[in-house]
Amino acid sequence: TSKSEHGYWIMSFKERDLLYRLIISQLFYDGFQTMAVNLVNLVSPSTACGPSNRLFRLVKLGLSVSEDEHEKSGVIEGESIAPGTGIDLEVESESSTMAPESALYETCYVTAHKAACRAASFNSTGQLVATGSHDSSIKILDVERMLAKSVSPTDHLGQETPQQQMETHPVIRTLYDHTAEVTCVDFHPDPTLQILVSGSKD
């Protein structure tokens, strides 16, 4: 990123591509698939863009840094913010990450929510995952059963008795305690305590 003679920021192709991929991933994450697909067709990003809230986290981080700098410098409300207090996307993009692109992950199991899944959280041991949906339900799934279900041949699954299907089904509990979209779920950090906290728009 550099400034032009008129004071406007000029982005490199790489930075612009990263920005578009972040926007597309955020749109997918927020459930705006049509808008995201339209933007993909329009800008043709360099790599596939899976759902991600990275843009939201970057903006949130930038805003918190900006607020911290504002408080430290003792700037009076209404004065301009000093250059360099915002977020630098280039620093984030240059760092190498160990995780592959989200589009390279393989889906193991899809639960039967009746609407979009808006929240998910693993417990501290990684044995359970809870999902919250726009349909106001919460499902608690056993991760080992999810993995077993994903590697079992489909002809074997058809031969299971109803009792066996119940014993191997990944969804171990479905909760219908909310009356509106579930927006967040989280397990208590202590695995001995069976506590799940959820938030909703109800």
The upper half-sphere exposure of residue 124, i.e. CA atoms within 13 Å in the direction of its Cβ, equals 10
pLDDT given at position 80: 59
pLDDT given at position 53: 85
Q: At which residue do the structure tokens 């190498």 appear?
A: 96
pTM, to two decimals: 0.46
Q: What sign does the CA torsion over 152, 154, 155, 156 have? A: positive
pLDDT given at position 6: 54
pLDDT given at position 197: 94
Q: For 2-103, CATH number?
A: 1.20.960.50
Residues in the chain: 202
pLDDT given at position 184: 94
pLDDT tens, position by position, for the chain (202 residues)?
555 555 566 778 788 888 888 899 889 888 888 998 899 888 888 887 788 888 888 888 888 887 766 666 655 555 555 665 666 555 554 445 556 666 666 666 666 788 888 899 999 988 899 999 999 999 998 888 887 777 666 555 566 677 766 677 888 899 999 999 999 999 999 988 989 999 999 8
pLDDT given at position 59: 87
All CATH 1.20.960.50 domain ranges in the chain, comma separated: 2-103
- Kindly state the tokens that stand for 170: 């990944």
Question: Which residue in 89, 92, 84, 103 sits closest to 25, CA to CA?
Answer: 103
